[in-house]
Amino acid sequence: MSNKKTDRYFDMFIELCAYSHKAALLLREILKDFDSEKFSEYMTNMHAIEHDGDVARHKMMQALAREFITPIEREDIVAMGERIDTVTDKIEDVLQKMYMYNVKAIREDAFAMIDTIIQNIEVLDEALKEFHNFKKSKIIQEKLIEINRIEEEGDRLYIEGTRRIFTDPDITPLEAFGWSHIYHYMEDVNDACEDAADVIEGVVLRNT
């Protein structure tokens, strides 16, 4: 039987993922309309999203501390909350690295990479919206497999994009250094999505 008080954790997971999605969309908007003079504005807006995600996760932890009955194991709730929140953190990391390495123009490969990030988060969101029914759902496993496929595509883009950096005769050594690290951090976002999917898969396997 469904319990509205305990089942709200499922809604909290979805809320955390929504912050990740919002952060990813903002990063794509920044990349497409990039102006290096607006870094302060970009970082303020991104940090506001990251902060709201942290607040939501802290509320989840506070609720967990008060309640004895939970829909899944407490450590699984903690792990899922942390992994989803990490996706948002990693997106903010990308923007911070762009600022640190004084990016002046966006390389083409970054657009493909942010698209995989958004796609991955959207599939994670679909899995989380089905998670309340994890004991019976036939959809969750399909979504987790899709997240793995997108992560592999992200790996491919990272490898090819990095190679293009170091075979570009027009890029300076400092630009090559900066962009290789930025691509690495973009790939970290897809890795974080896969980490969240792995936790979900573990919960499903232990409870079915």
102: left (phi over 0), alpha (psi -120 to 50) or beta: left
Looking up tokens 């829909």 gives 71
**In angstroms, how far apart are the furthest CA atoms of the chain?**
64
For the chain, what is the domain count?
1
69: left (phi over 0), alpha (psi -120 to 50) or beta: beta
Q: Other CB atoms closer than 10 Å to residue 94's CB: what's the count?
A: 27
The radius of gyration of the chain from alpha carbons, rounded to an integer in Å, stands at 18
pLDDT < 70 positions in the chain:
1-6
Give per-residue pLDDT as tens, 158-206. 999 999 999 999 999 999 999 999 999 999 999 999 999 999 999 999 8
Looking up tokens 């698209």 gives 115
Looking up tokens 């900066």 gives 178
Per-residue confidence (pLDDT) for residue 6, from 0 to 100: 62
CA atoms of 61 and 81, how far apart (whole Å): 9
Per-residue confidence (pLDDT) for residue 95, from 0 to 100: 98
CA atoms of 10 and 132, how far apart (whole Å): 6
Give me the helix-helix angle, 4-32 and 74-100, nearest 10°.
10
User: CB-based contacts of 68: which residues, under 8 Å, 6+ apart?
Assistant: none
CA atoms of 43 and 27, how far apart (whole Å): 10
CB neighbour class for 28 (10 Å; exposed up to 12, middle 13-18, buried from 19): middle
34: its two tokens = 């990039």
**What is the CATH number for 79?**
1.20.58.220
Q: Which domain holds residue 59?
A: 4-207
**139: which DSSP letter?**
S
